[in-house]
Structure formats: C-alpha cells, structure tokens
C-alpha cells in the first residue's frame, strides 16, 4: 500500500480514486483553484457535483493552497487538470514534484514550449519535471470508472519500469491496463480524437436540423478520422497500431456518444455559426479540447506538408474541420468533400 | 444509359435503384419468392413496405417467375438477396446469367461449397457464374441510400475493369464509390461486422438490464472487433487496411446503431438466453446474418489455429461470442475476459 496524489478534482481525477483505492492505496486528491467548489462539497461529505458519487473511502481531499502537503510522500502523481493548465500547474509545483518517481497524465492535448513549438502533454510536463511520464489513453467515461464498471485503458511511456509500476498501481479486475511503449501514439490519439469527434457530432447535428438520418455519413467519417490520427501519430514518431487500438478507435467511439466536443459539432451541424457555437460553449472558462486540437493538429500537418514529410491533401478531414471551425465553410458539403474527394 | 438488374427487392436491393436511376440507367428489380408482397405493393404503385419510399422512377419490377425477362439485356446484375439464399438463387438463374458481363454483390456472408468448404459469397456466386464478381462493402443504411443521402462504399474485385465499370454505373455525387482490389478484405469485413455487432449489442443490453452505463465496455470492444476482422481477413488473403476502412471500421460503426444483429446482442445482454433470443428473432424465416457469421468465422479460425496459421487465442472476442451464443456463457464476464485477457 502506497500513497498516490491526483492533481485535479474534476470528473476523471476524482474517478481514478476508485481503482487506486481498490488496490489499497491512500489517495490524495488535490483541487486547483477551478475545483474550489468541488473540494468544498467533497470536504463536507457530499457527492462530487459532476460525478454525482461520494468520495471513494481512503481518499483525502486537499484545497488549492495545500499542494505541497498533498504531494508529500507520494511516489506517483497523476495529472488530471484541464489540458491547457498542465504547463502552469506542473511548473508551479516543480519543487514539490522533484522527488516523485513517476507522473501519470490523463490530461490530453497539445501545448507550446516557451519558443512556441508544439508539444504533447508529456513534453509539457517534461519542461519542469525530469522523471518518467506515463500517458493514459483509451475509452474512459469518468462516471463508469468511478463506479467501478469495466474499463480498458492503455498506459504508455518510454520507461518500461515506470509504466509497469504505474500500471500495477491502477490495474484492477474492472480497470484493465494495457502497457505500451508508444506514448506518442497514445497522446496523439487522445488529443485528436476530441478534434475528430467534432466532425461526427456535425453529422448528429445535421440529423437534428433536417430530420433526415445521416448514419452513413457519420460512419464514413469514422475510419477516415482513425486513418488521419494514424498519419499524424506516425509523423510524430508514434505507431498506427496504437491509434487503431483503445487509444484511438476505442476512445473515438466513446467520445462521439456524448461530451462537449461532440456537442460543438452538433450545434454546428444544426446551422449555428461555428465561431458562435464555440464561443457559447467556452463561456465560463471551460475549453473545448477538440477545438484547440484541430488548430494544433492542423498546424502540425501544415508544417509537415511544407517540409515534405506528409503529402499535401493527406489529411482532408482535418482540413475540413479547420475550414468549418475557422473559415465558416458549410459543414455538410465540406465534410462530404473530405470523404468523396471532390 | 444501360440496363441493370437487381436480384432481390428487399431494402438494399430496392435502395440501389436510386443511384442507378440518378445515372440514367434503366433498373429491373426482381423479387424472390420471399419478396412477393413487396413486389405486389410496388407494382400497385405503393411505397416499399420496409423502406417506406416509392419506387425510384425508371425502375420496373419483376415477380419471382419473370427472372429471365428481368435479366435479359442487362450487362450488370446486382445480387441483393439474403446471404443464405445466394447459392440457390444464382444456381437457379445460371443460364440466364451466362451472358452478364459482371455481377455486383451487396449480399454478404459465408456459405459452403458442395464439399462443405466455407466460401465467401463471391466464391458462392462463382460456383455457377464464371464472369467477374464485384463485392460491395461500407456503411450503407438502405433508407439513406434510397433517399439519396451521402453514402460512401467500396467496390472490390479481382478484375479492375469490371470494378471500374460497376463503380461508374453506381457512383453519384451522393453515392461515393471507392475502388479496391481486395474483395476478400471487403467480404470478410462485410460478413464479420455483423458477428461483432452482436458483442457491442450485448453492452447495450447490459445497460438496459442494469440501468448502468457500459460505454467504456462497448468502446473497448470496438477496436478488438476491428483487429480480429483484420486477422481473419489477412488469414484468408485479404488486407488489414481494407478492414480498417469503410468496409470494416465504417460498417461496424453503422451496424452497432441498429438492426437485428445488434438487437440479438441487446436481448442477450438483458439476460435472455442466447438460444432463445436467436430462435425468437429468426421466426418467420429471416436469418440473423451475424449469428451465422460467428459460426463460420469461428470454424475458419479453429481450422487456421489447428493448421498453425493463426496463434491459439488470437481471436478472443470471436471465441467469446461463440461461447455466449452456443455455449450459454455469461455475457458480461465472457466479453470482459476477451478484453482483459483473464
């Protein structure tokens, strides 16, 4: 029995206490300043405001000002803050994290280094933390993880021993952990599936707006999304088979059933201007991770094409998403052209 | 403008008149003895009983006794009868089909040759028809094809000229046709996606029965299903990338949203004994294609493992489906063991 600290008391951070506690670990759950209300409710013994479930026994909550105390004594620290905050949070806690053996990130997405270059989140963490980072991918709705329902994920990192240690801390009969040596593949899939979920959400919105089914369109978008995630992953040094597993195909499958990325697409599909839909959904400070991922992914692809590393036009669906989100391109025609090559 | 004959007046056969008519072809729609009521309704000018839409202008319907007349003068004939009837129908019409330039099959599945060996449907057609056969795969709900909504499919065959001719007959701005030289990959995916849809339907049924969500389980099953379809396809001489495209990943995506294969899984997931659920759904002579595909696929895998061509245990989800459907194995535990390797 050891102690594990989770940074971020959102849905997924809090949910991960379930497998950890099932393995007998003490869990320290630390909330950022955005989690103040959540921490207050949990501290008072109430259910998590979003998950709706009470805190897993064996979990201690820590407010934003008690990070050092929350981290002290933990070998493994889990990063579960919103992706755009990872750099700032880990940078601020660098001194407290110096002794930690390994970090596990369930946050996913891209950010930039101080020179403006695009990094995957393990790279962002690596700017101030020098130990091994393990990336988590795969289809995980937090409420199901919290409830202990069957969930299969992949833990990936360049340090097999850290991957094994972290996987062992989390793996339970209900929380199955595959190990992988391809963190790039996992991170690219984890980030980009949110982007592509917007496209499939648009098909849902077209159905809502017209009353006409668009199952064939939606299903045709799916393998194209997986293919393009594979191209981006291999371009960045990851593997296609990682994308075709739990981290890409699996996570895309769950991401298109609900959530804010799908919802952004749905609203665009119903005819709402993309900028207006995105602005309305990001009110209150929450970000739509897929919207940012379209921008980062498209920038990576554009640079790769300019450098001759990817063929022009090899990511038509990502081009279509960028045109729809930032250029106001008509959703149905633009998505369909990505499939039909018109 | 040429004439195309469609054998089978079910949903898909009838729906394919839409793209053909859009290209200016005359369509002859022939009904089997099972389609008698459909033909009578269409002949009287009514809407197709299952599609709910009227016959596409330019289409002539032919009853079961008018096959020779329906086929005469057509260069291309489309096979759209239920998969288990393909051998008998094509065998009976062998003389009428002798002059046909190419056959297109949207029927999918396996059957046996007279010696009991398992054949894919193009092979079944090839027992009595010596011309080129083009296999169609990809996510196609018939009602959307009939209505002219965006649909992307793949036409595959060993004769590139026949593939090109048939693709050109069908391709419209709304019915996008990819060409492929991998009919085995397309056919294995087209057949087996019905089998694996049963597994994902079971996750739906578990949700219904318990009130607990099982999105994570369902999404974890998806990439495993694609992986196993890829193994079967490559074993039979097809390609993995075909399975990962429209024919496998895409068609599985649409197949798990509705239909009888998914429904069989759902009923098993709610706790109904598998044999009882299958028997109840096959009353009235209709078959559940995925149920048959589990049996054929499992037999192929068993033979391949015995011959050393596939590793034992390399298709755990297919093993699980066979155990659930024929051995009464408990659905949740058995599916989960296929994922978690317990």
The three state secondary structure string of A169-224 is HHCCCCEEEEEECCHHHHHHHHHHHHHHHHHHHHHHHHHHHHCCCCHHHHHHHHHH
Residues of chain B with C-beta less than 8 angstroms from the C-beta of A254: 215-216, 218-219
Dihedral-angle region of residue B244 (phi above 0 means left; psi in -120 to 50 means alpha; beta otherwise): alpha
Question: Contact at 8 Å (CB) between A178 and A251?
Answer: no
Record: contact A151-B217, CB cut-off 8 A: yes
The H or E element containing residue B276 is helix B274-281
Which domains does chain B show, CATH number per domain?
A: 3-181 (3.40.50.720), 184-340 (1.10.1040.10)
Q: How far is CA A221 from the centre of its chain?
A: 20
The H or E element containing residue B3 is strand B3-7
**Mean pLDDT over the full length of chain B:** 96
Task: Return the structure tokens found at B60.
Answer: 């002539």
Residues 105-144 of A with CB under 8 A from B: 138-141, 143-144
Question: Contact at 8 Å (CB) between B62 and B27?
Answer: no
Asked if the model's pLDDT at residue B1 lies above 70, the reply is: no
* Burial class, B319, CB count within 10 angstroms (exposed 0-12 / middle 13-18 / buried 19+): buried
- Helix (H/G/I), strand (E/B), else coil: A94: helix
Could you tell me which of A181, A136, A185 has the C-alpha nearest to residue A19? A136
Residues of chain A with C-beta less than 8 angstroms from the C-beta of B340: 150, 152, 173, 176
What per-residue confidence (pLDDT) applies to A223?
98
What ipTM was reported for this prediction? 0.97
Chain A residue at shortest CA distance from B221: A250
Chain A residue at shortest CA distance from B341: A176
Query: What backbone torsions phi and psi does residue A90 show, to the nearest 5 degrees?
Result: -70, -35
Entry field: residues in chain B? 342
* Alpha carbon distance A291, A109 (integer Å): 11
Query: What backbone torsions phi and psi does residue A49 show, to the nearest 5 degrees?
Result: -60, -30
Asked if the model's pLDDT at residue B191 lies above 80, the reply is: yes
Q: pLDDT tens digit string along B273-326?
A: 999 999 999 876 677 999 999 999 999 999 999 999 999 999 999 999 999 999
Question: What are the helix and strand counts (H, E) for chain B?
Answer: 18, 10
Q: Please count the CA atoms within 13 angstroms of the CA of B164 that sit on its side-chain side.
A: 3
Chain B residue at shortest CA distance from A249: B223
Asked if the model's pLDDT at residue B60 lies above 80, the reply is: yes
Chain A touched by B211 (CB under 8 Å): no
Q: pLDDT tens digit string along B212-221?
A: 999 999 999 9
Lowest-confidence pick of A94-103, B50-59, B157-166: B50-59
Among B173, B222, B336, whose Cβ lies nearest the Cβ of A249? B222
* Alpha carbon distance B125, B298 (integer Å): 22
Q: Using 50, 70 and 90 to split pLDDT, how confident is the model at B331?
A: very high
Question: Contact at 8 Å (CB) between B151 and A216?
Answer: yes
* Alpha carbon distance B202, B198 (integer Å): 6
Find the distance separating the first CA and the last CA of chain A, reported in whole Å. 59
Instruction: Look up tokens 């009514």; give the residue.
Output: B46
Residues 266-325 of B with CB under 8 A from A: none
Among A149, A249, A332, whose Cβ lies nearest the Cβ of B249? A249
Q: Which string of b and e fits A95-117 if b means at least 16 CB within 10 Å?
A: ebbeebebbbbbbbbbbeeeeee
Record: contact B215-A152, CB cut-off 8 A: no
What per-residue confidence (pLDDT) applies to B283?
79
Q: Alpha helix locations (H) across A4-147? A: 11-15, 17-22, 36-43, 67-71, 86-92, 94-97, 121-126, 142-147
Chain B touched by A173 (CB under 8 Å): yes
What per-residue confidence (pLDDT) applies to B247?
98
| Total beta-carbon pairs less than 8 A apart between chain A and chain B | 142
* Alpha carbon distance A123, A187 (integer Å): 10
Question: Contact at 8 Å (CB) between B220 and A150?
Answer: yes
What per-residue confidence (pLDDT) applies to B213?
95
Task: Return the structure tokens found at A164.
Answer: 């094994």
What per-residue confidence (pLDDT) applies to B20?
98
Asked if the model's pLDDT at residue B342 lies above 80, the reply is: no
Chain A residue at shortest CA distance from B252: A219
Is-catalytic flag, A141?
Answer: no
Asked if the model's pLDDT at residue B107 lies above 80, the reply is: yes
What per-residue confidence (pLDDT) applies to A287?
77
Q: pLDDT tens digit string along B3-34?
A: 999 999 999 999 999 999 999 999 999 999 99
What per-residue confidence (pLDDT) applies to B287?
77
Q: Which of A108, A141, A193, A218 is catalytic?
A: A193
What per-residue confidence (pLDDT) applies to B282?
87
Among A139, A152, A258, whose Cβ lies nearest the Cβ of B340? A152
Q: How far is CA B294 from the centre of its chain?
A: 13
- pLDDT tens sequence for chain A (342 residues): 699 999 999 999 999 999 999 999 999 999 999 999 999 999 999 999 999 999 999 999 999 999 999 999 999 999 999 998 999 999 999 999 999 999 999 999 999 999 999 999 999 999 999 999 999 999 999 999 999 999 999 999 999 999 999 999 999 999 999 999 999 999 999 999 999 999 999 999 999 999 999 999 999 999 999 999 999 999 999 999 999 999 999 999 999 999 999 999 999 999 999 999 999 998 866 779 999 999 999 999 999 999 999 999 999 999 999 999 999 999 999 999 999 985
């Amino acid at each position: 029995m050891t102690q594990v600290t989770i940074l971020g008391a959102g849905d997924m951070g809090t949910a991960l206490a379930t497998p950890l506690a099932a393995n007998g670990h003490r869990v320290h759950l630390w909330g950022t300043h955005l989690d103040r209300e959540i921490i207050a409710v949990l501290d008072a013994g109430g259910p998590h405001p979003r998950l709706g479930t009470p805190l897993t026994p064996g979990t201690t909550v820590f407010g934003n000002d008690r990070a050092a105390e929350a981290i002290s004594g933990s070998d493994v620290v889990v990063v579960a803050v919103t992706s755009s905050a990872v750099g700032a949070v880990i940078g601020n806690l660098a001194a407290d994290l110096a002794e930690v053996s390994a970090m596990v990130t369930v946050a996913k997405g891209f950010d930039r280094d101080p020179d403006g270059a695009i990094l995957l989140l393990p790279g962002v963490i690596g700017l101030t933390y020098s130990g091994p980072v393990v990336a988590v991918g795969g289809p995980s709705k937090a409420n199901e993880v919290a409830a202990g329902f069957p969930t299969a994920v992949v833990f990936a990192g360049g340090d097999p021993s850290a991957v094994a240690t972290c996987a062992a801390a989390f793996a339970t009969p209900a929380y199955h952990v595959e190990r992988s040596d391809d963190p790039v593949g996992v991170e690219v899939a984890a980030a980009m599936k949110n982007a592509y979920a917007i496209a499939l959400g648009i098909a849902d919105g077209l159905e809502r707006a017209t009353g006409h089914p668009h199952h064939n369109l939606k299903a045709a978008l799916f393998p194209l999304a997986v293919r393009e995630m594979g191209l981006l992953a291999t371009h960045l040094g990851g593997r296609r088979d990682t994308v075709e597993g739990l981290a890409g195909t699996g996570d895309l499958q769950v991401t298109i059933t609900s959530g804010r990325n799908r919802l952004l697409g749905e609203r665009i599909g119903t005819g709402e201007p993309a900028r207006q839909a995105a602005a309305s959904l990001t009110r209150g400070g929450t970000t739509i991770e897929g919207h940012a991922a379209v921008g980062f992914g498209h920038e990576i692809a554009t640079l790769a094409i300019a450098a001759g590393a990817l063929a022009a036009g090899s990511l038509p669906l990502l081009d279509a998403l960028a045109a729809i989100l930032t250029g106001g391109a008509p959703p149905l025609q633009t998505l369909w052209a990505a499939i039909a090559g018109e």
